[in-house]
Structure 1
Amino acid sequence: MMFWLAIPLTLALYVATRALYRYLPWPIINPVLVPTAVIIGLLLWFPLPLADYQSGTRPITALLEPAVVALALPLYQQARQIQAKLKPIVICTLASVLISICTTLLIGHLMGADPSLLASLATKSITTPLAMSVSESIGGIPAIAAAMVVVVGISGALLGYPLLKLIKVTDPEAQGLAMGACAHAIGTAASAEKGVTQGAFASLAMVMCGILTAAVAPLLFALYHWLT
C-alpha cells in the first residue's frame, strides 16, 4: 500500500520543488531539502512508519547506483582538461581531505567529544556508503556518519555557490572542485545543473576525496590516539 503513496508523493514533491525554483531561484528551495522536510513532517503528523515509506521508495533508491555511474559522462567529456591539470587537482583534493579531518579532530578534541563521535564526523565530506564504511573502520557510528553526510551535502548545495560568488571564485573548474570536495554527491548534482565543466570537476573531486579519505583517515586517527 505504501508503494502507491511513497513514489508518487516523492516524485511530486521533487517536481514541484524544481518548478518553484525556476520561478524563485533561492538556494533554500533545494530539491533535496524541501521534499525531505515535507516528508518528515508528513510522517510525524499522521504518523506513518518510516520503514514502510522507505520500503515503498525502493524503486527510486535502486536508481541511485546508475545515477552515480552516469556522473562518469561529464568526466569523459572533460578528460583532456582533467589530465592537463591532474597534479593541482590531486593537491587540492588532498588538502581538502586533510583540512576536513584535522579540523574535526581539533575542534572535537577541544570540545571534549567522544572518539567514536569524532570518527563519525570526520567522514562528513564524502559520499554516504564510503562515509559509513570508513567511519566504522576507525571506530565511528555509521548511522551518525550517514546523517552528517546528508547535512553537509544539503548545506553545501545551499551555501556553496553563493559563497563562491561572494569570494569571487568564478572559474568553473575551481567551483566544481570545491563543491565536489565539500558537498560530495549533493554538491555534484548542484554543480551539474550549473554546467558540464562544474559537474565534471565536482564528480572528480567527489571520487578522489572518497579514495583519499579512506586512505588518510585511519592514519590520522592512529596519530590522534597516539598523541592523546
Structure 2
Amino acid sequence: MMVWLALPLTAGLYLWVKMLARRYKSPLINTIMLPALIIIAVLMLTGQDSSAYQTGTQPLNRLLELAVVAFALPLYQQAAKIREQLWPIVLCCSLSALISVGTTLIIGGILHAKPELLASIATKSITTPLAMSVSETMGGIPAIAAGLVIIVGMMGAIIGFPLLKIAGVVHPEAQGLAMGAGAHAIGIGAAAEVGPVQGAFASLAMVVSGIATAVLAPPLFHLYLWFMQ
C-alpha cells in the first residue's frame, strides 16, 4: 500500500507545510524537516517497509535529479557579480571547508572518537553524494555521512538566517555564501526563498566548498591519524 501512497503523501505534506510556512513565518516550520519527521512517524507507526516508500517516490527522485540543473539559472543571472568577486569567494569557501574539517578532527581528537566516525563526520557540510564518496575514501561510513549531511542541512535551513541576523550579516552575497557553505543544497533552498542573490551565491558556495572539502579532507584526515599515533 505504501508504494501507492508514498507519492501523494510526500507531495501533500510538502504543500501543506509550505502553506503553513507562508502563513506563520517561523524557521521551525521547515518544508524538509516537518514532512520528513511526519513520514518517519507514519512508517514507524504503521510498520511499513521504508523500501516500499522509496519505490513509491522514485518519480520525485528522478525529477529532483533534473531540478538540480535549475541551480545554474540564478548563477547565470548573477554572473557579473560573481566574476567581480570570484577569488575572494573561492578563498572564503576554502577557509570554510578547512575550518569545518579541522574543527571536526580537533574536537574528535579531544573526545577520542574512532577514526571511521571522524571520517564520516568530517564531510558534514557538503552535498550528500560527495560527502558519501569522500568519507568512504577516508574509511568512513557513507550511511552516517549521509545522515549527518541531512541533519546539518536542516539545522542550517532552520537557524541559519536567524543566526546571521544576530551576527549582523546583512549583505545578500555574504548570507548566500554562508548558507551554501554551511548547509549545502538544503541551505540553497532556504536562501532562494529569501532572495535570488542569496540563492545564487549559496549555489556557488556549495560547489566551491564541496570541491575544497574533497581536496582538503583526505590529507587533513591522514595528517590527524599520523599525529595521533
Q: List runs of 5+ in structure 1 lacking aligned partners.
A: none
Unaligned runs of 5+ in 2: none
Aligned to 1:197: 197
In structure 1, distance between residues paired with 2:72 and 2:108: 35
Residues of 1 paired with 2:58 and 2:196: CA distance?
29
Partner of 2:212: 212
Mapped pair 1:23 → 2:23: yes
| Aligned counterpart, 2:145 | 145
Is 1:67 aligned to residue 60 of structure 2?
no
User: Quick check: 2:27–2:158 contact (8 Å CA) kept in 1?
Assistant: yes
TM-score under structure 2 normalisation?
0.98
Amino acid aligned to 2:117:
L
Contact 2:2–2:48 (CA under 8 A) maintained in structure 1:
no
- The 5-angstrom pairing of residues 1-228 of structure 1 reads 1-228=1-228
For 1:183, the aligned partner's letter is: A
The alignment of Structure 1 onto Structure 2 pairs a total of residues equal to 228
TM score, norm. by length of structure 1: 0.98
Distance 1:101 1:67 in 2: 29
CA-based RMSD of the aligned residues comes to: 0.7
- Mapped to 1, the partners of 2:52 and 2:109 lie a distance apart of 39
Q: Deviations over 1:172-225 (max 9, x none)?
A: 000000000000000001101111100000000000011111111111112111
- Flag as ranges the 4+ runs of structure 1 deviating above 2 A: 1-4
SS of the counterpart of 1:63?
helix
Kindly provide the CA deviation profile for residues 124-166 of structure 1, in whole angstroms up to 9, marking residues without a partner as x: 0000000000000011000000000000000000000000011
CA separation in 1, counterparts of 2:108 and 2:68? 32
